Chains A and B, each alone.
Chain A
Amino acid sequence: EVQLVESGGGLVQPGRSLRLSCTASGFIFGDYALSWVRQAPGKGLEWVGFIRSKAYGGTTEYAASVKGRFTISRDDSKSIAYLQMNSLKIEDTAVYYCTRYDSWGQGTLVTVSS
Chain B
Amino acid sequence: DIQMTQSPSSLSASVGDRVTITCRASQGIRNDLAWYQQKPGKAPKRLIYAASSLQTGVPSRFSGSGSGTEFTLTISSLQPEDFATYYCLQHNSYPRTFGQGTKVEIK
Contacts and interface: CB of A to CB of B under 8 A. Distances in A.
A interacts with B: yes
Interface of A: 35, 37, 44-47, 50, 61-64, 97, 99, 101-102, 104-107
B88 to A, nearest CB: 10
Interface string B63-99: 0000000000000000000000001010100111111
B94 A45 contact: no
9 contacts: A44-B99, A47-B96, A47-B97, A47-B98, A97-B43, A97-B44, A101-B89, A104-B44, A105-B43
A98 to B, nearest CB: 10
Interface residues of B, number: 21
Interface of B: 1, 34, 36, 38, 43-46, 49, 55, 87, 89, 91, 94-101
B95 A63 contact: yes
Given A44-B87, A45-B87, A45-B101, A104 B95 contact: no
Given A45-B89, A47-B95, 16 more contacts: A44-B87, A44-B99, A45-B87, A46-B98, A47-B96, A47-B97, A50-B94, A61-B95, A64-B95, A101-B34, A101-B89, A101-B91, A102-B49, A104-B43, A104-B44, A104-B45
A44 B98 contact: yes
Nearest to B43: A104
A97 B44 CA distance: 9
A35 B36 CA distance: 15
A35 B96 CA distance: 10
